[in-house]
A and B are shown apart, each in its own frame.
Chain A
Amino acid sequence: PHFMIELPDREDALCFNINDKPGTIFNLVRDPTSGILVNGQTIGDKMIPPDGHVNTYFCRFGIVHQTLGVRLEVSTQDISVFQDNKWVKLQWSETASLKGPNVDLLLTKDRSLTVTLKDSVKFVILLHKVWKKHPYHRDYLGFYTLDSHLLSPVVHGLLGQFYHGIAFEVTDLRPGEVPEKPDATMYVKERQLNVTRGWQRDFRKDVKNGENVPCWFIHSNGTGLIDGNVTDYIVSGLF
């Protein structure tokens, strides 16, 4: 999966990929103060593509709001919501709107699920449907944070650690391996990184083709940009 931190006030963005064995569960957001947890599990392609590169994608998200007593499990198959001590199941094939005391859901058929957790966070999960008979790829999900300002300053996780901004500087632009993707030096978190100008896609407006967003790509699973190592974010279960 590709991670993107868009910073429009700087007219810039940072991006990195995380690749690990299919089936790995990563922590994306963890806010011990508000009791929010978002974990995601990856899957790989059906078989190894001709280029030999195994891509992984998120196929299942587990979201918990401890204080509100809300749990959500969103997979490429269906959506399960636990609130008021009962489970409700929704299918991606329906359009639905669910307003509860602690959570609002807006499901757009085969496309997106917007979740608003009371006084804490708002996000969208996109469903990418792939032709069933595609030889390699299969359905996967995207996770977009829309509003996280109510989360505490200690919020962390692969996405959460950037919710309160990030300071960086880029200098020393130089030709890279590919002519249209120059390399540069980035100073971030008191480290100096070699980065490459590239782009990644934001699928919110066009779920099929996405929109290219130019970004500074941080190599090796975001090493140097993310706190610690990618393995620090691996968790044992979805909840």
Chain B
Amino acid sequence: TNEATVELCSVTVDCTVASRFAHTVMTSVAVNKVNSSQEIFFEVELPKTAFITNFSMEIEGQVYVGEVKEKEKAKKQYEKAVSSGQTAGLVKASGRKMEKFSVSVNIAAQSNVTFILTYEELLQRKLGQYEILTRVKPKSLVQKFQIVTNIYEPQGLSYVDAHATFLSNELLPLVEKTVSDKKAHISFSPTVEQQRKCPGCDGTLIDGDFIIKYDVNRVKGLGDIQIVNGYFVHFFAPPDLPRVPKNVVFVIDRSGSMSGIKMQQTRQALLEILKDLDEEDHFAIIQFDSDIESWKESLTKATKENVAAGMDYAGNIKDRGATNINDGVLRGVNMLIQDRQEKRLPERSADMIILLTDGMPNHGESNITKIQENVRSAIGGNMSLFCLGFGDDVDYSFLDVMSKQNKGLARRIFEASDATLQLQGFYQEVSSPLLLEVDLHYPDNAVDFLTTNHFSQLFNGSEIVVAGRLLDNGVENFLVEVFGQGFEEDFKVQGQASAVDWNEMYPDEEYIFGDFTERLWAYLTIQQLLEKSKSGPSDEKSNATAKALDMSLQYSFVTPLTSMVVTKPETEDGPDSPLIADKLTEEQRQLADKKQLYTGLINQYVRPVQTAYAASPTYFVDGD
């Protein structure tokens, strides 16, 4: 807002989590204090894993509500608005975890405006915890500032931790946390005086991330199944399972574009990762540019001596040449296949390839579709491929599709000083498989519209979630079976799922948000359909896209296939104009990050320090 001509009456963030499904409502009320109309901005950041579900503005008693529309239709409306010179609101990428939603409206003199943004997400268990991240940047002091989070977990809470990046010793006691067995209440509500940076000044201390981390009690055997309002959700992450040994081939890109800091961070991360290998694991290191070079011709048991020798080798990887991803990965695949055939690897163990590259194959096979085909057919469903896409130029969707086609995951590694930690973090997530080929069975005559119920691995610290619709809304229980391959024996459990009575469990609470199990199911289904629309067989792709679009519209989720359209009020300057909120894809975020990285470099550059010139790009034309 402009100086003190706008008063922020209140900012409230109200988050309710029921069985990992988080529903957040951000409300801001502002008053235009001057005697003329002026533009007021509402800008909030939300997790990129969240879907916006609603947005409204109340101006002079009139409420303008957002409507989720098919993206193409909304785009047409948007284009029309732009061509007639009107403005449109957009969602933009903001850092690694968040995206920014921003709108502005013209407010009449001495009147107020209320903005309400609602978004929902299924919290993912990573490294043994769920995280609720709320970014608050009110820019000025707020009469009533409040963050309230209520967590309802029928499984019981094992711990809840709340902290914020802006908490000083004075603000710390203001975080109130009440935790009982199945419920947690966390609130933070500083007064105007407590928000102040210093006595008498207008600056606010409230600027940063408010983070809540928690975990639930792990349920042995079958896991936790909840049946609510005709839908069920099954959370499976049993405790105390021994880890399955792994056979991991690290395929490392050492091409010219990895030169400098990227290569250095890769070496550092590899050294740390190798150090963490378990003695029961087997490992191999392959480095590639236009040539493929492997440390040893087969996988090596991770004894202390072998790990030390591997670290010696990894510490000497140097950049050179072009990028032959195809042959690098295939060498790794063949090595695993051959070692399996020659029975050099434990029978019950997980085979995985971890590819680290900054992309852009340009030697050997450089057609990415062909590489995907080659890798898929060589792997033949027998191992997992995890891809780490390093830097801003990497073709992330190529790696994303390739890993999903091969029972794996891709992750972007951002070029920054903490890239080593990002690499290690990803490795930790996938380094401890507990079960392989996990199947979750439900009776066909009781449930349908199941989300994915087969998983190649269950990793330590993560959680498998399956949801579905009950055929008979009155079903109170049904038989559930889980199969998987464990370390020494098969994992096989069966049991009865039974309905949870939320009213009994939380007698003092009002209706939390009744349809959350259905919305959780819808969220999960849409996410999986969106993945299938990118990496599934071609005949399934268009079907998956169409279904995902239908469901996004039905449940009012702003996904990459839909947009939210809000019609701005008419102003003196012109007629109504639509505001459009989109969901960014990872590729769009990458483009934005690239721009930010560039901005960072340029910012260094424009400082009046002569030496800074050496660290920034220059584009020029001059005489020969």
Q: B616–A171 contact, CB under 8 A?
A: no
Query: A17 to chain B: closest CB distance in Å?
Result: 7
Assess A169 versus B618: contact at CB under 8 Å? Given A10-B259, A148-B602, A153-B595.
no
Q: A159–B619 contact, CB under 8 A?
A: yes
What does the 1/0 interface line of B363-404 toward A look like (CB < 8 Å)? 100100000000000000000000000001100000000000
Q: B594–A143 contact, CB under 8 A?
A: no
What does the 1/0 interface line of A123-148 toward B look like (CB < 8 Å)? 00010100000000000101111111
Q: Is A9 an interface residue (CB 8 A)?
A: yes
Q: A167–B602 contact, CB under 8 A?
A: no
Q: B606–A164 contact, CB under 8 A?
A: no
Q: B619–A6 contact, CB under 8 A?
A: yes
Assess A2 versus B594: contact at CB under 8 Å? Given A9-B601, A169-B362, A187-B360.
no
Q: Is A165 an interface residue (CB 8 A)?
A: yes
Q: Is B201 an interface residue (CB 8 A)?
A: no
Task: Give Cα A232 to B618, complex, Å.
Answer: 23
Question: From A151, which residue of chain B is reached at the shortest CB distance?
Answer: B595
Chain A stretch 57-75: residues in CB contact (< 8 A) with chain B: 57-58
Assess A153 versus B591: contact at CB under 8 Å? Given A3-B621, A40-B621, A144-B618.
yes
Task: Give Cα A163 to B605, complex, Å.
Answer: 14
Q: What B residues does A234 contact at CB under 8 A? A: none
Q: A202–B362 contact, CB under 8 A?
A: no
Chain B stretch 36-81: residues in CB contact (< 8 A) with chain A: none
Q: Which of A58, A145, A171, A200 contacts B256, CB < 8 Å?
A: A171
Interface centre among A40, A140, A149 (most CB of B within 10 A): A149
Chain A stretch 80-138: residues in CB contact (< 8 A) with chain B: 122, 126, 128
Q: Is A41 an interface residue (CB 8 A)?
A: no
Task: Give Cα A185 to B363, complex, Å.
Answer: 11
Query: A226 to chain B: closest CB distance in Å?
Result: 12
Task: Give Cα A217 to B619, complex, Å.
Answer: 14
Assess A164 versus B615: contact at CB under 8 Å? Given A128-B623, A171-B290, A187-B322.
no
Assess A146 versus B605: contact at CB under 8 Å? Given A163-B619, A169-B360, A202-B618.
yes
Interface centre among B260, B360, B622 (most CB of A within 10 A): B622
Q: Is B255 an interface residue (CB 8 A)?
A: yes
Q: Is B609 an interface residue (CB 8 A)?
A: no
Chain A stretch 204-227: residues in CB contact (< 8 A) with chain B: 210
Q: What B residues does A168 contact at CB under 8 A? A: 257
Q: What B residues does A148 contact at CB under 8 A? A: 602, 619
Q: A4–B619 contact, CB under 8 A?
A: yes
Q: A164–B623 contact, CB under 8 A?
A: no
Chain B stretch 295-333: residues in CB contact (< 8 A) with chain A: 320-323
Q: Is B624 an interface residue (CB 8 A)?
A: yes
Q: B392–A165 contact, CB under 8 A?
A: yes
Q: Is B449 an interface residue (CB 8 A)?
A: no
Interface centre among A28, A143, A146 (most CB of B within 10 A): A146
Q: A159–B621 contact, CB under 8 A?
A: yes
Q: Is A5 an interface residue (CB 8 A)?
A: yes
Q: B620–A149 contact, CB under 8 A?
A: no
Q: A169–B256 contact, CB under 8 A?
A: yes
Task: Give Cα A182 to B24, complex, Å.
Answer: 61
Q: A167–B621 contact, CB under 8 A?
A: no
Q: Is A239 an interface residue (CB 8 A)?
A: no
What does the 1/0 interface line of B585-624 toward A look like (CB < 8 Å)? 0000001001100110111011000000011111111111
Assess A169 versus B602: contact at CB under 8 Å? Given A2-B621, A40-B621, A126-B622.
no
Q: Which of A8, A58, A128 contacts B621, CB < 8 Å?
A: A58
Assess A147 versus B621: contact at CB under 8 Å? Given A9-B615, A164-B598, A169-B255.
no
Count of interface residues, chain B, beta-carbon cutoff 8 Å: 38
Chain A stretch 1-51: residues in CB contact (< 8 A) with chain B: 1-11, 17-18, 28, 40
Q: Which of B260, B591, B606 contacts A11, CB < 8 Å?
A: B260
Question: From A185, which residue of chain B is reached at the shortest CB distance?
Answer: B322
Q: What B residues does A5 contact at CB under 8 A? A: 617-619
Task: Give Cα A100 to B320, complex, Å.
Answer: 50
Q: A164–B594 contact, CB under 8 A?
A: yes
Q: What A residues does B615 contact at CB under 8 A? A: 8-9
Q: Is A196 an interface residue (CB 8 A)?
A: no
Chain B stretch 241-275: residues in CB contact (< 8 A) with chain A: 255-257, 259-260
Query: A70 to chain B: closest CB distance in Å?
Result: 19
Question: From B392, which residue of chain A is reached at the shortest CB distance?
Answer: A165
Query: B323 to chain A: closest CB distance in Å?
Result: 6
Q: What B residues does A1 contact at CB under 8 A? A: 621-624
Question: From B256, which residue of chain A is reached at the shortest CB distance?
Answer: A169
Task: Give Cα A233 to B622, complex, Å.
Answer: 17
Q: What A residues does B622 contact at CB under 8 A? A: 1-2, 4, 126, 128, 142-144, 200-203, 210
Q: B393–A165 contact, CB under 8 A?
A: yes
Task: Give Cα A3 to B362, complex, Å.
Answer: 25
Query: B349 to chain A: closest CB distance in Å?
Result: 36
Query: B588 to chain A: closest CB distance in Å?
Result: 10
Q: What A residues does B257 contact at CB under 8 A? A: 10, 167-169
Q: A3–B617 contact, CB under 8 A?
A: no
Task: Give Cα A172 to B562, complex, Å.
Answer: 47
Task: Give Cα A153 to B589, complex, Å.
Answer: 12
Task: Give Cα A200 to B615, complex, Å.
Answer: 18
What does the 1/0 interface line of A153-168 toward B look like (CB < 8 Å)? 1000011001111011
Q: What B residues does A200 contact at CB under 8 A? A: 622, 624
Q: Is A170 an interface residue (CB 8 A)?
A: yes
Task: Give Cα A148 to B619, complex, Å.
Answer: 10
Query: B587 to chain A: closest CB distance in Å?
Result: 12
Q: What A residues does B289 contact at CB under 8 A? A: 171
Task: Give Cα A148 to B605, complex, Å.
Answer: 11
Assess A147 versus B601: contact at CB under 8 Å? Given A4-B621, A171-B321.
no
Assess A171 versus B621: contact at CB under 8 Å? Given A10-B259, A148-B602, A153-B591.
no
Q: What A residues does B393 contact at CB under 8 A? A: 165, 167
16 sample A-B contacts, Cβ–Cβ < 8 Å, listed by A number: A1-B622, A1-B624, A10-B257, A10-B260, A18-B621, A142-B620, A142-B621, A143-B620, A143-B621, A159-B620, A162-B619, A163-B619, A171-B256, A171-B321, A187-B360, A203-B623
* 6 closest residue pairs by CB, A with B: A142-B622, A187-B362, A167-B393, A144-B620, A6-B618, A171-B322
Known: A18-B621, A57-B624, A158-B621. 10 other contacts (CB 8 A): A1-B624, A4-B619, A4-B622, A8-B614, A58-B621, A144-B618, A146-B618, A171-B256, A171-B321, A190-B362
